[in-house]
Amino acid sequence: MSTFVRESLIVFNRQLRMNLRNPAWVIIGMLQPVLYLLLFGPLLEPVISQLGGNKYTWFVPGMLVQLGIFGAFFAGFSLIGEWREGVIEAERVTPASRAALLFGRLYRDLLQLFVQAVILVVLGLALGMDFNLAGILLGVVLTLLLGGACAAASNAFALTVKSEDVMAPVINLVMMPVLLLSGILLPMSFGADWLDRLSDFMPIRHVVDAVRGAFFGDYDVSTLGWGVGWTVLLFGAAVWWGVSVFRRENA
């Protein structure tokens, strides 16, 4: 086993143990997708029926991306607590790779997201979502990459500002346009033309479109290309930022 994998798994194990010791968060994390599907899904019925197609095949991909982004945005909060107690510095005086210190934490966020995705997809299928295995797998992979990007960015930002008071409003500031302009709850093509055009500038909109397309088994090259492109780009940029913050002297 390479040193990097070994070190990141040590960090991951430790993070997982700390998460599981706080079962309230685990339960909330699991309940979120269930509640959205059961309580919000039926509200969409009349709207989605205008578009044609299965309402859950519309709705589940949006929920998936939402969980991926918003859960991950908060990942950095626990890092600030660890930093305050000297854990980050203690890890940084070990010979472990700085990237492993970040990736161990990302694995934890990705595992949580993966479990949520499985719950969401299984429940969606039970409620009548179209079954399209390849598309679902592709959608989940894209979501995991996007979630990883958000978690890495959240960790990097947390370790830069080192203050929950700065972090909370910034997350809210970022989340609003993301939620409103990426077509998570309803497809952007539903709205006015100018809103649709505006949302073209929101990278996550393209990811949502690609995930939704994949769930429908509609592999439109342009939609998929933009979605995959943005996902990979965001993931690469956020991981680079995260690793450089862990590497930086003053972190």
134 Cβ neighbours under 8 A, 6+ residues apart: 214, 217
14 is a site residue for another protein (CB under 8 A): yes
Strand, helix or coil for residue 89: helix
CB of 62 to another protein, least distance (A): 35
13 is a site residue for another protein (CB under 8 A): yes
Piece in contact with another protein (CB under 8 A), picked from 5-13, 176-184, 197-205, 221-229: 5-13
The residue within the footprint of another protein, chosen from 41, 91, 148, 150 (CB under 8 A), is 91
- Which of these, 161, 171, 178, lies nearest to 230 by C-alpha position? 178
CB of 154 to another protein, least distance (A): 19
Question: Distance between CA atoms of 211 and 228, rounded to whole angstroms?
Answer: 9
Contacts 24+ apart (CB under 8 A), 192-197: none
Question: Distance between CA atoms of 202 and 31, rounded to whole angstroms?
Answer: 28
Q: For residues 158 and 119, is the Cβ–Cβ distance under 8 A?
A: no
Question: Distance between CA atoms of 216 and 56, rounded to whole angstroms?
Answer: 10
209 is a site residue for another protein (CB under 8 A): no
23 is a site residue for another protein (CB under 8 A): no
Piece in contact with another protein (CB under 8 A), picked from 13-21, 140-148, 175-183, 235-243: 13-21
The residue within the footprint of another protein, chosen from 86, 169, 173, 221 (CB under 8 A), is 86
Interface residues with another protein (CB under 8 A)?
3, 7, 10-11, 13-14, 17-18, 21-22, 81-82, 84-87, 89-96, 249-250
